[in-house]
Structures are given as structure tokens and as C-alpha cells.
């Protein structure tokens, strides 16, 4: 699948889409193994935040899970020709109200794996016409294919942050 063109997504999407190199479905599938492995290897840091007011590892994983759900919902809506604009979401408020710090890290890891694997059935079922369908989310037009790439790039982005700021291995 060709990568999305800049006119198919809002400018903020470039942050994530630019990080995706290779087959998007392979990347999305590989993330069901690589992301859990990273968190498991750093389980001793589950409650660590690199600075005051920053998310802990568990909170970051919870954010990734919430974002995966939002992206999958948007993909479903737009692939099915939803005409209503979809709201945005404030990631910090979601994390603040989710109680991820009280959750078990392994449960969060398994939740991500289950969620992504379920979403892959939807993602892989989409044909070219469905991938090119678009809608309005957060007040901006975006197509389904772009959301797929953003979903993969979003995790690549957070893995970089984990390595650079949390010093995970």
C-alpha cells in the first residue's frame, strides 16, 4: 500500500506518518510483539516517570491503548461512510481519568495485544475504496489509510520517547 499523501491528512499527522517505513500491516502486526517485549523488559520501571507531571510507563501504555481505540473507531466510522464529524480527544485528560497507575502492567500489555490483534482483522479487511474514504475528526479531514499509518507511527513515536527519556532497553 502506498503511503498517504499530505493532502489526505492534517498537518499534525506528518509527525507519525513520517516514522513509518515499510509495509504498514507488517509494522502494525510486529508491534503486537515489539511493544509488549519493551514493556516487559522494563517492568521494574512500570511506575517511573522521567520528570514531574510526565506519564509513568503504565500511563504511557494506557495512553497507547486509548489511542488505539480512538483510531480504530475512526477507521470503522469512515470506512463505513459515517457523515457526522467525530470529536477529538484530550490525551492528558484521558490518562488523568483512567487510573492506569492502579492497573497491573501485565494486564495492560495483554490488553494492548488483544486490542491490536482484533483491530488487525478490521484493518486487513479494508479494500482500496474503503482505505481512501475520509471523514472529519478533531475538526480536520482525514482518510482511513492515513489513520492506519498514524496508528503505526504513533507507537514508533512513543518507543522513541521511551528509549530517549525513560532510558528503557
Tell me whether residue 57 is in a domain: yes
Q: Which three cell numbers stand for residue 56?
A: 509513568
* Residues ≥6 apart with Cβ < 8 Å to 76: 122
Residues of the chain with pLDDT under 50: none
Q: What is the pLDDT, as a whole number, of residue 56?
A: 98
Under 8 Å between Cβ of 66 and 98: yes
Under 8 Å between Cβ of 161 and 61: no
> Left, alpha or beta for 129 (phi > 0: left; psi -120 to 50: alpha)?
alpha
Tell me whether residue 67 is in a domain: yes
Tell me whether residue 12 is in a domain: no
Q: What is the pLDDT, as a whole number, of residue 169?
A: 84
Domain with 115, as residue range(s), is: 24-165
Residue 82's SS3 state is coil
Q: What is the pLDDT, as a whole number, of residue 98?
A: 97
pTM metric for this prediction: 0.96
Tell me whether residue 4 is in a domain: no
CA dihedral 114, 36, 87, 25 (to 10 degrees): -70
Amino acid at each position: 500500500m502506498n503511503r498517504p499523501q499530505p493532502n489526505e491528512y492534517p498537518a499534525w499527522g506528518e509527525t507519525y506518518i513520517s516514522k513509518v517505513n515499510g509495509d504498514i500491516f507488517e509494522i502494525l502486526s510486529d508491534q503486537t510483539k515489539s511493544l509488549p517485549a519493551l514493556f516487559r523488559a522494563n517492568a521494574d520501571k512500570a511506575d517511573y516517570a522521567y520528570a514531574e507531571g510526565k506519564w509513568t510507563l503504565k500511563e504511557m501504555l494506557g495512553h497507547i491503548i486509548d489511542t488505539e481505540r480512538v483510531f480504530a473507531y475512526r477507521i470503522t466510522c469512515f470506512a463505513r461512510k459515517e457523515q457526522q464529524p467525530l470529536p477529538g480527544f484530550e490525551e492528558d485528560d484521558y490518562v488523568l481519568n483512567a487510573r492506569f497507575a492502579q492497573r497491573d502492567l501485565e494486564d495492560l500489555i495483554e490488553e494492548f495485544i488483544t486490542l491490536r490483534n482484533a483491530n488487525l482483522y478490521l484493518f486487513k479487511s479494508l479494500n482500496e475504496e474503503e482505505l481512501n474514504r475520509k471523514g472529519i475528526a478533531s475538526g480536520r479531514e482525514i482518510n482511513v489509510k492515513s489513520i492506519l499509518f498514524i496508528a503505526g507511527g504513533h507507537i514508533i513515536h512513543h518507543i522513541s520517547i521511551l528509549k530517549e527519556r525513560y532510558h528503557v532497553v
